[in-house]
Amino acid sequence: MKAFSLEGRAALVTGSSQGIGLAVALGLHEAGARVVCHGLQERPAELPEYVSYVPCDLLDPSSPNALVERAFALQPALDILVCNAGSFFDLPPLEMTRERWDKTMQLNLTSTFFIVQAFAKRLAAEKRSGSIVITSSTNGFQGEADSCAYDASKGALVMLIRSLAVSLADHGIRVNGIAPGLIRTPLTSTWMEPRAHDLLKHYEKKILLGKVGKPDDCAGAVVFLCSDAASYVTGEIIVIDGGLTVAQIGRM
């Protein structure tokens, strides 16, 4: 179906050197888009040659504008933005520091807004339409122990998606989001693998589809939201969690 094709389109995907972001970037490319990837470090050796890459530290307040400017220099026809960059810096709430709180908000929330702003300004100036997808989390709807800053940032992204959808609609820019549940990535593996026996068994009982997700499980939803197949969709968030947040108790 041609409505799902991204031929002739170009995308910037932040936080795409690994994990969900990389899977999304490759999925967009497979659908026909030219892709600019982004990460904190220099270009990873395993990144395919057919994608461009911009290293950039989004904890620097000047980085959002610089990243978008470099992405447009690489792909002047850029009309898709996927804001996926984010991380987890929490300590238990009685031990949490202002530094870690501010770091979480700067990376997960503030940089996302200003990347969107720079992208939307360019499209509005050129009178072009576009599509934005922001990665939130099931943590944006449900709290998790010792994750106050992370949960707050992801909850803020839920409302940011909706507010931006309202504000950018007149510019022909659609804004949607995805909310992944438990996905096996380098970030989640650091705490999941040491407790694999008991923790994974617990989640496998709670997740209706019986397994932890893979980064590729998120790619199709983003491709859909960026495509003409979703041309009448804005302000929506697709939950990708295998049914984790659907059942109240899960399997016994």
Catalytic residues: 150
> What single-letter DSSP state applies at residue 51?
S
In this structure, is the dihedral angle defined by the CA atoms of residues 170, 135, 109 and 207, taken in order, positive or negative? positive
Please list the rounded mean pLDDT of every run of 10 residues in the chain (252 residues): 92 97 98 98 91 97 98 98 97 98 98 98 98 98 95 98 98 98 81 66 87 95 98 98 88 74
Res 252: pLDDT: 72
Q: Phi first, then psi: what are they for 65, rounded to 5°? A: -65, -40
In this structure, is the dihedral angle defined by the CA atoms of residues 132, 214, 51 and 59, taken in order, positive or negative? positive
From CA 140, how far away is CA 56, in angstroms rounded?
Answer: 26
In this structure, is the dihedral angle defined by the CA atoms of residues 95, 180, 6 and 120, taken in order, positive or negative? negative
Domains of the chain: residue spans and CATH: 2-184+215-240 (3.40.50.720)
Nearest to 119 by CA among 170, 68, 187: 68
pLDDT in tens, 51-61: 999 999 999 99
Res 123: pLDDT: 98
pTM: 0.95
Res 247: pLDDT: 85
Q: Which contacts (CB < 8 Å, 24+ apart) does range 54-58 have? A: 58/14, 58/85, 58/106, 58/107, 58/111, 58/115
